[in-house]
């Protein structure tokens, strides 16, 4: 059980697939195509996601950012008509391999959604649900520790420590989203996918979450979809620009925002369309 | 053309035309509101009329007049040998004892015809009740006790004012002399009015004053237990599978259409199915709550499945995604999150289904639950009847006493339905989660 607590701490036991700077990508997508029925949503995406960095996916609505994000933890499996081609690896292992269990994969690749979606249960139960179903804590104290640490890491602890028994749905929007982030990190994932996590929040709550993302980068690999160009520039190290189901350009965030190579990228980040 | 749209103009909104249109819109709104109020008013008054007619006819059945007679448990009559042998005790002529004590009050009645008329005042059940008392407590033999015995239904109805004394004697069930006797018995305190426990403690009877609902109530409870036990697990499982796991293809579409159709199938068809399959093919017992329960479960399944699916569909997908996102398996998503959230809706479906089953008559007629049941069923395989069928049978009987009891039985059935709904509301409140 101590192994799990170490996993909680994040750094110690995680398998290393490369150097901290991410020369070997944590996740790697090769030629990913997604079809919803007859409609093709992604037209062959190649993207490397470096470890312990924030990768931002930007692009106009309907360009396939969220679709791509949901491929990374096989959330698209739940959509009957979705069909996926290509290769996506996590630590070099094909996540669409028959051997890979999607349930286990989603424990390793957590997700935070656009709209805060806490369970209609207490704050404590919201956090402890994941660890409980994965058997990460065998005793009450261990679970308490996981809950405490997750909330601390999500920057929510001071606000909720006296009311852990109250329903998570009673928190404000920004607090709910941080609760969802705490819930995601409670199962100690290696990668966290965030699908426009701030689109339903006010600027102050957004600033909170952005700070949090910056801190989480130390321990987690983060992929964030955002419509907010400034946000991408602020929180990410790498940025990928999607357009009409294709990935137009990817590079270091600074580069993308200062010297984009493609004129579509330039047009989008300068606000000419999108 | 363009400047018509683009330039702001105040004029059209201040014209008389516009004011007239506005008035019309408000008038339409008021009319619509009135239609709604009228509709509710009509529905409520119908309900009020229905309830008033049932209650006004039936409330008197909850009280009943009894004869309070001083009975001498004559050893010479009951147990001449003094053996206290059960067969002897049960074989004695208790009806005679009851009659004798009534005749003791009217020594002047001597002719055979008059005596027979006098004896008619005592119910046929008086002898049975005396026998039961002696069988339960043989120590009564040789003692004198004041005992409350059932009054024949016609005289009870006379005292309740349901038989009109002004009707000519020839058209009246009770003759003038009998009215005099009854009036005398009332004045001497030999007739008392009280709570009608026989309505709840007896089974069915040919005599209205003895007929009770116990067999029907117990039969209904047994039948409903079987229905609940089958319909809830099968219904919820089917709904969960169809809604959460089943692939969406032609086959599941066909199943869905058929479930919706089944909900509209007349209930008597389910009765015919029960007759053909359970009784004829499987040789299950006739008139038994187990068969009735299975048939009613089949009948309520579509209701429960449809309501449960609607409730499951109403659970926001974000909750499913949240649970999947932390690595819950599809089954865990359903059992930990979706089902608890859908529970209030599912329970509404179950209660509607159960209320439907509790009030159902037609399919049960087909499988023989219309039997004349005096004894309370003691198990799922015993011959039984249910409340609505009991009502149906009583409604068929011409005696004035049964008219009153039919209404009373309807009130008891309604009370059960209201109680069930109340439980449902309480349970729903408890299961409901605030969002």
Q: Is the pLDDT of residue A8 over 50?
A: no
pLDDT at B4: 56
Q: How far apart (Å, rounded) are the C-alpha atoms in residues A24 and A91? A: 9
Nearest by Cα to A200 from A70, A110, A113: A113
Q: How far apart (Å, rounded) are the C-alpha atoms in residues B94 and B152? A: 16
- Cβ neighbours of residue B435 under 8 Å, at least 6 residues apart? A120, A169
Residue B152 carries which DSSP code?
A: P
pLDDT at B425: 85
- Predicted model pTM: 0.81
CATH topology assigned to domain B214-431: MetI-like fold (1.10.3720)
CB nearest to B322's CB, from A78, A104, A119: A119
Q: How far apart (Å, rounded) are the C-alpha atoms in residues B217 and B220? A: 5
ipTM score of complex? 0.83
Asked if the C-beta of B112 comes within 8 angstroms of chain A's C-beta atoms, the answer is: no
Cβ proximity of A222 and A72 under 8 Å = no
pLDDT at B379: 87
The partner residues of A246 in beta bridges, in order of sequence, read: A243
Strand order in the sheet with A109-112: A109-112, A191-195, A221-225, A54-58, A238-243, A246-252
* pLDDT tens-digit series, residues A216-240: 999 999 999 998 888 999 999 999 9
Q: Is the pLDDT of residue A205 over 80?
A: yes
Tokens of B113: 């015809």
Higher pLDDT, A133 or A13: A133
- Could you tell me how many CB contacts below 8 A there are between chain A and chain B? 71
Instruction: Collect all residues of chain B within an 8 Å Cβ-Cβ radius of residue A147.
Output: none
CATH 1.10.10.1590 fits A2-18+51-74+101-269, yes or no: no
Q: What are the phi and psi torsion angles at A58 (to 5°)?
A: -120, 165
- Cβ neighbours of residue B187 under 8 Å, at least 6 residues apart? none
Cβ proximity of A52 and A23 under 8 Å = no
Q: Is the pLDDT of residue A13 over 60?
A: no
Give the gap in angstroms from C-alpha B329 to the nearest C-alpha of chain A. Answer: 6
Instruction: Collect all residues of chain B within an 8 Å Cβ-Cβ radius of residue A73.
Output: 325
Domain ranges of chain B: 2-58, 62-201, 214-431
Q: How many helices (H) and strands (E) does chain B have?
A: 20, 3
Asked if the C-beta of B326 comes within 8 angstroms of chain A's C-beta atoms, the answer is: yes
Asked if the C-beta of B319 comes within 8 angstroms of chain A's C-beta atoms, the answer is: yes
Which residue of chain A has the CA closest to B337?
A: A119
pLDDT at A50: 93
Instruction: Collect all residues of chain A within an 8 Å Cβ-Cβ radius of residue B318.
Output: 113, 115, 117
CB contacts under 8 A, A 28-87 vs B, are 73, 75, 78, 80
Instruction: Collect all residues of chain B within an 8 Å Cβ-Cβ radius of residue A146.
Output: none
Looking at residues A46-71, what average pLDDT do you find? Answer: 92
Give the gap in angstroms from C-alpha B252 to the nearest C-alpha of chain A. Answer: 14
CB nearest to A130's CB, from B318, B320, B326: B326
Note down pLDDT in tens along chain B; length 435 residues.
Answer: 455 566 666 667 778 888 899 999 999 999 999 999 999 999 999 999 999 999 998 899 999 999 998 888 888 888 888 888 888 888 888 888 888 888 888 888 888 888 888 888 889 888 889 998 888 888 888 888 888 999 999 899 989 888 888 888 888 888 888 898 999 999 988 888 989 999 999 888 888 999 999 999 999 999 999 999 999 999 999 999 999 998 888 999 999 999 999 999 999 999 999 999 999 999 898 889 999 999 999 999 999 999 999 999 999 999 999 999 998 999 999 999 999 999 988 988 898 899 989 989 999 998 888 888 888 888 898 888 999 999 999 999 888 889 999 999 999 999 999 998 898 888 888 877 654
Domain ranges of chain A: 2-18+51-74+101-269
**Per-residue DSSP letters for B100-145?**
HHHHHH-TT--SHHHHHHHHTTB-THHHHHHHHHHHH-GGGTT-EE
């Amino acid at each position: 059980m101590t192994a799990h607590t170490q996993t909680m701490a994040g750094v110690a036991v995680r398998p290393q697939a490369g150097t901290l700077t991410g020369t070997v990508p944590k996740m790697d997508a090769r030629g990913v195509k997604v079809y919803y029925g007859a409609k093709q949503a992604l037209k062959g995406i190649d993207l490397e996601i470096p470890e312990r960095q924030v990768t931002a996916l930007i692009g106009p609505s309907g360009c396939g950012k969220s679709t791509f994000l949901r491929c990374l933890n096989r959330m698209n499996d739940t959509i009957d008509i979705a069909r996926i081609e290509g290769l996506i690896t996590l630590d070099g292992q094909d996540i669409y391999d028959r051997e890979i269990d999607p349930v286990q994969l989603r424990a390793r690749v957590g997700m935070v959604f656009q709209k805060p979606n806490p369970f209609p249960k207490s704050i404590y139960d919201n956090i402890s649900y994941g660890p409980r179903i994965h058997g990460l804590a065998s005793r009450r104290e261990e679970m308490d520790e996981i809950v405490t640490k997750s909330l601390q890491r999500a920057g929510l602890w001071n606000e909720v420590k006296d009311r852990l028994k109250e329903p998570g749905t009673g928190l404000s929007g920004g607090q709910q989203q941080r609760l969802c982030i705490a819930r995601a990190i409670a199962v100690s994932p290696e990668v966290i996918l965030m699908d426009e996590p701030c689109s339903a929040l006010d600027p102050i709550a957004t600033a909170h979450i952005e700070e949090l993302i910056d801190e989480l980068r130390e321990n987690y690999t983060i992929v964030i979809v955002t419509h907010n160009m400034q946000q991408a520039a602020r929180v990410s190290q790498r940025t990928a620009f999607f357009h009409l189901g294709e990935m137009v350009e990817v590079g270091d965030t600074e580069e993308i925002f200062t010297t984009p190579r493609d004129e579509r990228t330039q047009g989008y980040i300068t606000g000419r369309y999108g | 053309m363009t400047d018509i749209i683009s330039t702001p103009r105040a004029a059209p909104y201040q014209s008389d035309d516009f004011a007239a249109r506005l008035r019309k819109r408000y008038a339409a709104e008021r009319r619509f509101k009135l239609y709604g109020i009228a509709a509710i008013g009509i529905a409520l008054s119908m309900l009020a009329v229905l309830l008033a007619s049932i209650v006004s006819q039936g409330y008197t059945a909850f009280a009943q007049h009894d004869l309070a007679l001083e009975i001498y448990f004559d050893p010479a009559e009951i147990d001449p040998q003094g053996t206290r042998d059960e067969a002897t005790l049960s074989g004695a002529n208790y009806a005679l004892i009851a009659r004798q004590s009534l005749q003791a009050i009217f020594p002047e009645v001597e002719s055979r015809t008059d005596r027979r008329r006098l004896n008619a005042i005592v119910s046929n059940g008086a002898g049975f009740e005396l026998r039961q008392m002696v069988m339960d407590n043989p120590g009564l033999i040789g003692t004198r006790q004041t005992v409350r015995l059932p009054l024949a239904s016609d005289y009870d109805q006379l005292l309740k004012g349901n038989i009109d004394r002004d009707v000519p004697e020839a058209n009246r069930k009770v003759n003038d002399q009998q009215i005099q006797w009854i009036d005398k018995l009332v004045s001497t305190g030999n007739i008392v009015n009280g709570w009608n426990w026989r309505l709840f403690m007896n089974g069915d009877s040919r005599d209205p004053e003895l007929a009770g609902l116990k067999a029907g109530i117990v039969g209904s409870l047994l039948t409903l237990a079987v229905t609940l036990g089958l319909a809830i697990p099968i219904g919820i499982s089917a709904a969960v599978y169809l809604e959460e796991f089943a692939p969406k293809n032609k086959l599941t579409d066909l199943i869905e259409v058929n479930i919706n159709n089944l909900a509209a199938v007349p209930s008597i068809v389910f009765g015919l199915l029960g007759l053909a399959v359970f009784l004829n093919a499987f040789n299950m017992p006739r008139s038994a709550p187990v068969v009735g329960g299975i048939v009613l479960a089949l009948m309520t399944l579509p209701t429960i499945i449809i309501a449960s699916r609607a409730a499951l569909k109403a659970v926001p997908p974000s909750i499913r995604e949240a649970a999947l996102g932390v690595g819950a398996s599809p089954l865990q998503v359903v059992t930990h999150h979706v089902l608890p959230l859908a529970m209030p809706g599912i329970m509404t479906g179950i209660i509607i289904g159960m209320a439907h089953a509790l009030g159902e008559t037609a399919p049960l007629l087909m499988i023989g639950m219309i039997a004349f049941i005096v004894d309370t069923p003691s198990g799922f395989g015993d011959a039984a009847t249910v409340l609505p069928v009991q009502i149906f049978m009583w409604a068929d009987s011409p005696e004035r006493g049964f008219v009153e009891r039919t209404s009373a039985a309807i009130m008891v059935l309604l009370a059960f339905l209201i109680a069930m709904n109340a439980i449902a509301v309480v349970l729903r409140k408890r299961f409901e989660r605030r969002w």
